[in-house]
Amino acid sequence: MIYHYNNVPIFYEQQGAGPCLILLHGFLESSAIWKKIIPQLTEKFRVLVIDFPGHGLSADLEEPLSMEKGAEILNSILEHLNIDEMFMVGHSMGGYIALAFLEQFSEKVKGVVLMNSTTFADSPTRILNRKKALELVEQNKDSFVSLTIHGLFSKSDKVEFSSEIEMLKKDVIQYSKKGIKNAIKGMMARKDRTNILRKYRGKKLIVAATEDPIIPLEISQDISKQTDSELFTLPGGHMSWLTQDKEIVEILHLIE
């Protein structure tokens, strides 16, 4: 389905019945990452997925994809579908947007899962790396996509999931420079929302990976303690939705 947000086509899809469970993809991903686990979730939930602007089947924004803008787009779709309460799951950038949504619309959120994500803002070093990424996207987008996606996996996962990694690269290489750069700019500008999660009184879970090169395990452990969130630690790298899909399904069934 296509929803037009300020004339920008945004793809979404929903399946199943029951309490609403929203799955939010990360940077250089799309709603397609959830296809394998959705059938195991629709037995219990009404599952809603979307493609953020510049990703998947959604069009680009003319401005950066701020985390607040992502939350506003999601809320607009929810109002369109008459959904007034939900559980939220966000992978990486999807977690950043879930936190922005929690800040603006906490009364609608029954529970939240941050998967390979963080409440912290970018560090100065990370911001510098984002700026370098913007330059690389402009110079050679395909190379940036390939290097970035390859770097999200642990050494063993790169071997076991080599075909899936190549398929992901093939899909993402179709994304425009504008869409990719808009997302980078939005992530770079996001604020620290640790206190937002700390104050939230609904169920909150954090999924971390032992070899995550983007969100080190000790960061997730720190956030878990600061926000009184339940922490689940899995093996592998940044893409737990793929490499640990069975465990992810089990964890998501605990959110209700």
What CATH number did the domain enclosing 35 receive?
3.40.50.1820
Q: How far apart are CA 217 and CA 116, in angstroms?
A: 9
Q: Cα separations (Å) of 137 from 24, 132, 144?
A: 23, 9, 6
Q: How far apart are CA 148 and CA 24, in angstroms?
A: 19
Q: Cα separations (Å) of 176 from 117, 134, 171, 216?
A: 24, 13, 11, 29
Segments forming the whole domain that contains residue 81: 2-252
The total of structural domains in the chain comes to: 1
The one-letter amino acid code at 178 reads K
Q: Is the pTM of this model over 0.95?
A: yes
Helix then strand then coil, in percent of the chain rounded to 5, is 50, 20, 35
Burial label for 217, CB within 10 Å (0-12, 13-18, 19+), is middle
pLDDT averaged over 10-residue windows placed end to end, the chain, 256 residues: 97 97 98 97 96 98 98 98 98 98 97 98 97 98 96 94 96 97 98 98 97 97 98 98 97 94
Q: What is the DSSP string of 231-247?
A: EEEESSSS-HHHHTHHH
pLDDT of 256 reads 85
